[in-house]
Structure 1
Amino acid sequence: MSDSKATTSSSNNPGNKTAQNALTHWDGALGLPDFNAFTDDDFGQAFEAAFAQDLHEVEALVANEAEPTIDNVLKALQLSGKALERVSSIFWMRAGAHSNDTIQALERDVAPKMSRHYSRIMMDPLLFAKVDALYEKRDTLNLDAETLRVLEKIWKGFVRSGAKLDKSGKAELAGINEELASLGASFSQHVLKDESQWALYLDSENDLAGLPDFLRNAMRNAAEERGRADAWAVTLSRSIIEPFLTFSQNRNLREQAFTAWAHRGQNNDANDNQAIVAQMLKLRERKAKLLGYDNFAAFKLDDTMAKSPDAVMNLLEPVWEKARAKAAEEEAELTDLIIKQGGNHKVAPWDWRFYAEQVRAEKFAFDEAELKPYLQLDKIIQASFDVATRLFGIRFEEKKGIKTWHPDVRVFEVFNADGSRRGLFLADYFARTSKRSGAWMSALQSAHKLDGGQQPIIYNVMNFAKPAESEPALLSLDDARTLFHEFGHALHGLLTDVTWPAVAGTSVSRDFVELPSQLYEHWLTVPEILEKYAVHYRTGEALPKALLDKVLAAQTFNAGFQTVEFTASALVDMAFHTSPTKIDDPIEFEKQTLAKLSMPDAIIMRHRTPHFTHVFSGDGYSAGYYSYMWSEVLDADAFAAFEESGDPFNPELAANLKKYIYAAGGSADPEELYKKFRGKMPSPEAMIANRGLNK
C-alpha cells in the first residue's frame, strides 16, 4: 500500500509544533492545507491538541454566567472546535481516499477517542441546560426561521446523544458509541484490505477473450501497479470487475471474480466482518432502547422525511414486487439466449451481465464497448461543469501544480457569475489500492456566513480505472452517471447560502441529501449535452445521432435487475434494524430475509452485508439505504418540471432550483423546500415509470 508522507525538513519530527499547526491553520495555496508541511505521524498529537482546545472552548462557554443567549450559547457552540474540525477533515479524507498502515492504525485509535470526546460534550449537563433554556423560550426570542431551525436541531441533537439520560444511562450510551466507532473503523478497513489484496492475474490471450481494449488497458495498468507488468489484473474495483463480468467469455473466470466480489468481508480470515456486524446490530438496538425508541430504525428515521419504518416499507414493498416481476421477464430472456447458444446451465449471478449485454446489443443494436470511446473522462468533467454554468451561473478554472493528498487530485477554483470567488472543488478520479471502493463527496471546509463566514472546499472521490499514460480515461455510461451524481453532491456544498454551519450544504435529512445528486444525473443524457461532449477520443467525431437515440432508448433496459439489486439491499438494511429478535448470525439472517422476499437466485444484493459500508462502516446510511429511492421519487418529479417546460435549462426553474434545493441546505424543512420549488410533493409513479417498471 502506498504511503504519501511528505518529508520536508520542518516536519520530520512527529512532535513538531509547526507541523501540527499546519493541520489546523491552513496557509497553503488557495486556502488549502499545506500538504508539504506535515507527515502522517503528525496527526496523533494534532488530534490531542485539538481535542483539548475544543474542550477548553466549550468549558469557557459553560463558565459564562450571563443569561443564555443565541450569541453566547448557540453561536459560541457553532464556532467552537475549529481546530478539531480541520485536522479531522484532512484525516478522514486520507482514511478513505489515500490510506496506509499508519493512517489505519491512527483510525483505530482516533475513532473511539472522537466518540468519547463528543459524548463528553453532548452529555454535559451544564451545557445542555444552557441549550435547553434557549429552546424552552424559543417562541419568545423573535428568531428568524433559519436560526429557529438551528436551535431546534441542536437541541434535538443533544437529546438524541443522551443529554436527558441519568448518569448510568449516559455512561452506557457513551460506551456504546465508542465501541460502535471502533467497530465501524475496523469494518471499513477490512473491506479495503479485501479489495486491495485480491487480484486475479491473467496472462494468456484465451483468458482475455471478449474483453474490449479499454478494459484490457485498465487491467494491464492495475497489474503494473501491483508489480505484475507481465499480466492483466482483474481487481475488485467496480470500474474493472463490472465490465469484466460483462464481456469475459470465460465463465469460470467470471465465477472466480464474482465470488471474490460477493464475499468481501466474508472469508473467515483476519478481514472477516461477520462478528463485527452482529455486535454492531446488538449495540445499535441497545442504543435505540436507551433513548426510548422501539428499534434502531425508529431512532434513525425520527429525524428524516420518512419519519417511520412503515413509511419506508410503504415505498419499498410495491417497488420490490414490480422489480421482481420485471427481473423474472429479463431472466427468461437470458435463459432463452443461453439455450440458443447451446448452453445447459441456469442464469447464475456471474452470468447476468454477460448475457444481458448481448440481449441489449441485439435489442438496441449497440453495446457498452461501442459507446465507451465517446465518453472521455475529461469531456464528461467539462460537461458537468457546463451544466452547472448554464443552470447556476458558476464557472470552474483548473489550477495546476498544487500539492494535495495525491498527484492524481485535480484542483478547480470556482467563481460566481459576477467573477467573485465562490470556493474550491477538488476531484480524485482514479482507483488505487490505497483508496476504498465506491464514490463519494465530502468537504475539507463547509461554507457558512457566521462571524465573517468561510468559503467551501469540496471534494469528489471516484474509482475509475486509470488508463495508460498516453491514453485518455474512458468511462461507461454508469461511470459518467456516477461522476454527475457526485458532482451534484458537490454543488450542494458549493452553492450553499446559509448563515449557520449546522445547516450548511449537505447537512440535511438523509432521505433528502440524495436529491441534488440524483437530480443532476438527468442532465448527463440531455441530448444537447451528449451531442457536445460525447466525442470519439481518436477521431473527435460527435456521438452519432443514431447511437445517441439507441442509448436513450435503452436507458430502462435491465431495470428489473438493477432495481432488485438495490431494493434487496434497502430491505435487508431495514430488516436488520427493525428485527425484534437478536441477530447472532447476520449472514444467515440476510439469507432468510431474502428467502422471505423470494429473491431471484440469479441476482444478489448490490451491497451484501459483510461489505455494506454504507450501513456498517459508520451509521450514516444505517436504516437509511432506502433514501436513494426516496430521493429518486423527488428527483424524477423535479426533472419533469424542466421537461414540461420544454427547456432543460429553463432559467426561472433553474433559479428556483438553486434557491430552494442547492443553496438552502437544511435551513428549512425539506418538504417545505421541495414544495416551494415544485408546488407539491410527488407520488412514486414518476420514479417507477422512469425505471421502466411499468412496461
Structure 2
Amino acid sequence: MKKIALVSLMALMAATGMAQPKDGGNPFFKEYTTPFKVPPFNLIDTSHFIPAIVEGIKQQQAEIDAIVNNPKAPTFENTIVAYDKSGALLSKVGSVFGSLNGANTSPALQAIARKTSPMSTKHRDNISLNEKLFKRIKTVYENRNKSKLTPLQIRVVEKYYSDFERNGANLSEADKTKLRAINQELSMLGLKFGENLLAETNNNFKLVVDNKADLAGLPADVIISGADQAKQDGMEGKWVFTLQKPSMIPFLQYAQNRELRKKIYMGYNMRGNNDNEFDNKVNILKIANLRAERANLLGYKTYADYIISNNMAKTPEAVYDFLNKIMEPALNVAKQDLAEMQAIADREGANIKLEAWDWWFYSEKLRKEKYNLDEAEIKPYLSLENVRTGMFYVANKLYGITFTKRPDLPVYHTEVDAFEIKDSTGKHIGVLYMDYHPRPGKRSGAWCGRFRSQSYENGKRITPVITIVTNFTRPAGDAPALLTWDETSTLFHEFGHALHGLFTDGQYERIAGSIPRDMIELPSQVMENWAGEPEVLKVYAKHYKTGEVMPQELITKLEKSMTFNQAFVTVEYIAASILDLDWHSFTAPKQVDVNAFEKESMDKIHLIPEILPRYRTTFFSHITGGYAAGYYVYLWAAVLDSDAFQSFVDSGNLYNKDIAAKFRKFILTEGGNDEGMVQYRKFRGQDPSPIPLLKKRGLDK
C-alpha cells in the first residue's frame, strides 16, 4: 500500500509540475521557528502538502487506535480529551492548505485538493464510523452525570456524542458503506462546483470596451481601473470590466450604456449556467439529491431538517416563517422604490420598463434625488488604510487591544499585511493577516479564516493566527484603494469574525468558539454598526489627498441614507435564503430541471422580476460549502446584532466598556460554553427584539 501511494504521489507531482523541496525538508514536520510560530510561507512548497496530509492522517489514526485499544475503562480524560487533542499535524497542514487554496490557488493546489479531498473524507468517515471509538464515547456519555465532571466537560461529552450520532455511528454496516460512498461523492462535487465558479468568474467573461463613448457616466477612478485591467490583459488602449464586484458594481451604477449594463449583469448571473464545460447544473442537482439521501439515511426527513435541528431555529418551518414575515414588508418597500425609479426613467424619457440590470443604475439616481448623495462623493474619504485604522480604533476603544503592523512576518503573497494584536497589558493575543484585492487565484467574495486556532498545550494557551480575505477595489492611477460603502461595511464585518477567532479561549477544541450556525454571524455583523456612526466616521473617514475629515453635511447625508435600498438588499437576500432551503427540502432524491426549479421557488414567494436572488443556484457557493440549508443565518443573526448594538446606544456610550466586556466574555470568548440563546441572554439580560433590525432597515413602516 505504501509503495502504491508513493508512486501515485510522484506521478501527481510530475503531472502538475510540483517541484521537490530543495533540501528534502518539510516545514510541516517541524516546529515553526518564525515569530509567534506563524506558517513559514517562504519555506512552504506545493510538494510539502500531500506528504504532510498523508502523515497527518496516519498520526491521527494511530491516536484513535490508541484510544480504542486502551485496556482501561473509558473516562473523560482517556477517551474524550484524547480524541479532542488528536489530529494536530493534520489540522496544522490542513488549515494552511485550505486557506491558500481559497486565497491564492493554482493548478498545482487544485490538483492536490482533488487528490487529498477523497483521502480526508475517507479518514473522517473512518473516525466517525468507528464502532469501538463510539462505544467508548457512549460509555462516557451514559456515565457523564455520575462522573464528577464539570458542566463544561459534560457539554463536551454531549457534543461529541451528538456528533457521532449525526455522522452515522448508529447505522448498520450496510448503511455505513452507503454513507461513505455519499460522502466521497459530495466532497468531489463540492470541489468541482468551486473550480467551475472560479473559472467562470475570473477567466470566462470580460466586458471589453473599445469606444470611449461607451464609458459615459462612469467616474474617473472606475475608468482608470478599467484601463489598468485592459493593460494587465494585454489590451492597452481599451477598457476591461470583469465579474469581480469592485469592477462590475460601479459599471452597473453609473454606465449610461444600457446594453453593456445588461451584458455584464447577465454575465454575472449566468455563471455556471452556460451549458459549457464549467456548467454547474448537473453538479448542484447531484449535491441536492445526495444530501437528501444522506439525511434519509441518518433518520431525517430532509437535509434542511438535519442541519437546522442543530441550530437555534431548530426546524425549517421556523426558518420559513421567520423569512416570510420579513419578506412581506421588505417586498412592499422594494416595490415602492421600484415605482419611484421607474418615474425617474419616465421623466428622463428613457422609454423603457426597468429590468433587473437597471436597478443599480436608477437606484443611484434615486439616492441622489432623495438624499443629494452620490457614492462617488463618499469614496475619497474611505481609503482602505483609513477604514482599517477606523476598525482598529473601535476595537481598541471597546476592548483595549492594539494592532501593530509586522512586515517581518512571512506572507503568502506580496499584497498581504500581517498585524500583531496585544491586549491592554501588552500581552500577545494573536496574529491577523489581511489580503485585500482580487486576483486570478482568489475565489470571489470575502471571508475570515485561520492558519491556526487557539488551543492549549500543557496548560499553556497557543495563540491564534487569523486571516481576512476580501476582493476590494484596487488602487487606480495615483489614488490609493478607495472603498465603496458596501466594502467598508464588509471589512468591519470580517473583522468581527476575526475578533471572535482572536478572543476565543477554551481548553476543549470541540466547544471553544463553537456557536450555532445561525448565531455565527453575530460577532461579525455587530461590528458593522459602528462603521456608520457619525462619531466613528469622524475618526477614520478622511480625504485621501487633504486629510480633511468627512464634512458634517456629508456625514448627515450618509446617515440619512442608511436605510436606502435596504428593501432591495433584504429581498434579494431572502430570495437566496428561500432558494437554499428549497434545494435542501427534498424528502427523497428526484430529478428536476434546475432553472425551472429555481423559477418555481421564486414564484412561490412572488419575487418581482426586477430583483434576482442574491445568489442563483449555479453560483451559490455558500450552499456547496458550510452554509447549506443555512444561508438564512445572516438575517437571523441580524436580529441579534441589531439588538446587541442597541444596548450600546441605550447606554449613551458607543464604547461602553462594561457592555463590551460582557459581549467579549459571553459571546466572543465563551460562546460555545452553552446553547446560543443561553449565552446571548447572559450577555443581554433579555431575549432579542426584532424591532431594532426593522428600524435599521427602514422596514418598520
Name the TM-score class by shorter chain. over 0.9
Alignment partners' CA distance in 1, 2:694 and 2:29 = 47
Partner of 1:472: 480
Give the match for residue 38 of structure 2: 32
In 2, distance between residues paired with 1:453 and 1:29? 16
Cα distance in 1, alignment partners of residues 355 and 47 from structure 2 = 47
Kindly state the Cα deviation for residue 622 of structure 1 after the two structures are TM-superposed.
Answer: 0.6
Question: Secondary structure of the residue that 1:464 maps to in structure 2?
Answer: coil
The yes-or-no answer on 1:228 pairing with 2:235 is: yes
**Deviation by residue 1:335-390 (Cα, 9 ceiling, x = unmatched):** 10111010121111110010110110111011100111110100110111111111
CA distance in 2 between counterparts of 1:321 and 1:24 reads: 57
How far apart, in 2, do the equivalents of 1:19 and 1:295 lie?
48
Aligned residue number for residue 694 of structure 1: 700
What are the within-5 Å matches in structure 2 for residues 485-524 of structure 1? 485-505=493-513, 507-524=514-531
* Correspondence 1:130-145 to 2 at 5 A: 130-145=136-151
Deviation at 1:450, TM superposition (A): 5.3
1:587 aligns with 2:592: no
Deviation at 1:17, TM superposition (A): 8.1
2:673 aligned partner: 667
The residue number in structure 1 matching 2:13 is: none
Q: Measured at CA, do residues 498 and 316 of structure 1 come closer, stay the same or move farther in structure 2, by a change above 3 Å?
A: same
1:427 aligns to what?
A: 434
Change (3 A) 1:284 1:12: closer
Contact 1:25/1:33 (<8 A) preserved: no
Matched AA of 1:449: Y
Aligned partner of 1:246 in structure 2 is 253
Partners of 1:572 and 1:22 in 2: CA distance:
41
C-alpha separation in 2, matches of 1:97 and 1:665: 28
Corresponding residue of 1:166: 172
* Structure 1 residues 85 and 225, CA gap change in structure 2 (3 angstroms): farther
* Partner residue, 2:462: 454
Aligned partner of 1:568 in structure 2 is 575
How far is 1:694 from its partner? 2.2
C-alpha separation between the residues in 1 aligned to 2:20 and 2:168?
36
Return the match for 1:327 from 327, 334, 344: 334
User: Conserved in 2, the CA contact under 8 Å of 1:24 and 1:86?
Assistant: no
Shift in Å, 1:214:
2.4
Contact 2:506 2:670 in 1 (8 A): yes
> What amino acid sits opposite 2:634 in the alignment?
Y
Compute the displacement of 1:144 (Å): 2.0
The one of 98, 119, 122 equivalent to 1:116 is: 122
Amino acid of the residue matched to residue 573 of structure 2? Answer: F
* TM-score after normalising by structure 2: 0.95
Answer yes or no: is the 8 Å Cα contact 1:374–1:535 preserved in 2.
yes
Residue-by-residue CA offset, 1:270-311 (whole Å, 9 max, x unaligned): 111000000001100010001101100000011110110111
TM-score when normalising by structure 1: 0.96
The CA deviation at 1:225 is 3.4
SS at structure 2 position matched to 1:154: helix
Q: Which residue is equivalent to 1:4?
A: none
Contact 2:18 2:46 (C-alpha < 8 Å) held by counterparts = no
Q: Which moved more, 1:32-41 or 1:435-444?
A: 32-41
CA distance in 1, matches of 2:388, 2:183: 39
Whole-Å separation in 2 of the counterparts to 1:181 and 1:614: 15
Instruction: Output one character per residue of 1:71-98: Cα deviation in whole Å (capped at 9) or x when no partner.
Output: 1111111111111101111111111101
Among 397, 409, 416, the residue aligned to 1:390: 397
* Structure 1 position 351 matched with structure 2 position 358: yes
Secondary structure, in 3 states, of the residue corresponding to 1:449?
strand
Within the candidate set 576, 590, 606, 1:598 is matched to: 606
User: Using a 3 Å threshold, how does the CA distance of structure 1 residues 46 and 469 change in structure 2: closer, same or farther?
Assistant: farther
1:362 match: secondary structure = helix
1:15 Cα deviation (Å)? 6.8
Aligned-pair identity (%): 37
- The aligned amino acid for 1:636 is S
Distance in 1 between residues matched to 2:315 and 2:132, nearest whole Å: 32
Give distance in 2, aligned partners of 1:438 and 1:25: 33
Deviation at 1:674, TM superposition (A): 0.4
Superposition deviation, residue 41 in structure 1 = 2.5
Moved more, 13-22 or 538-547: 13-22
Deviation at 1:500, TM superposition (A): 1.1
Contact 1:22–1:34 (8 Å) recurs in 2 = no
| Contact 1:35/1:404 (8 A) holds in 2 | yes
Deviations 1:674-694 (A, max 9, x none): 001111112323212221112
Indicate the residue corresponding to 1:55 in structure 2. Answer: 61
Q: Which residue does 1:482 correspond to in 2?
A: 490
Displacement of 1:469: 7.0
Cα distance in 2 for residues equivalent to 1:81 and 1:661 = 27
- Aligned residue identity for 1:67: A
CA distance in 1, matches of 2:24, 2:191: 29
Decide which moves more: 447-456 or 475-484: 447-456
Partner residue of 2:94?
88
How far apart are the structure 2 equivalents of 1:624 and 1:300? 8
1:135, distance to aligned residue in structure 2 (A)? 0.6
**Mapping of residues 36-435 of structure 1, within 5 Å:** 36-197=42-203, 198-435=205-442
Question: Are the counterparts in 2 of residues 445 and 458 from structure 1 also a CA contact under 8 Å?
Answer: yes
Q: Is the 8 A contact 2:522 2:640 kept in 1?
A: yes
Q: Of 544, 552, 558, which residue of structure 2 is paired with 1:551?
A: 558
The answer on whether the counterparts of 2:39 and 2:410 sit within 8 Å (CA) in structure 1 is: no
Deviation per residue, 1:526-546 (Å, 9 max, x gap): 211101110111111110001
Report if aligned partners of 1:240, 1:465 keep a CA contact under 8 Å in 2. yes
Q: Distance in 1 between matches of 2:26 and 2:167?
A: 30
Q: Aligned letter for 1:202?
A: V
CA contact (8 A) 1:285 1:295 kept: yes
Which range is displaced more, 52-61 or 250-259? 52-61
- Output the CA distance in 2 between the equivalents of 1:664 and 1:347: 49
Q: Partners in 1 of 2:29 and 2:101 — Cα distance?
A: 15
The 3-state SS of whatever aligns with 1:511 is coil
- Distance in 2 (CA, whole Å) between partners of 1:12 and 1:272 is 28
1:18 CA drift (Å): 4.8
Give the Cα separation in 2 of the matches to 1:689 and 1:482: 21
Aligned residue for 2:650?
Answer: 644
**Displacement of 1:666 after TM fit?**
1.1
Contact 2:402 2:421 in 1 (8 A): yes
Q: Deviations over 1:176-225 (max 9, x none)?
A: 11111110011011101111112112233212111112222332333333
Point out where structure 1 has 5 or more consecutive residues left out of the alignment. 1-10
CA contact (8 A) 1:24 1:83 kept: no
Once the 2 structures are TM-superposed, how far is the Cα of residue 43 of structure 1 from its aligned partner? Answer: 1.5
| Count of residue pairs the alignment pairs up | 682
Structure 1: distance between partners of 2:288 and 2:277:
20
Q: In 2, distance between residues paired with 1:32 and 1:299?
A: 37
Q: In 2, are the aligned partners of 1:366 and 1:550 still within 8 Å (CA)?
A: yes
1:614 aligns with one of 608, 622, 634? 622
1:401 offset after TM fit, Å?
Answer: 4.1
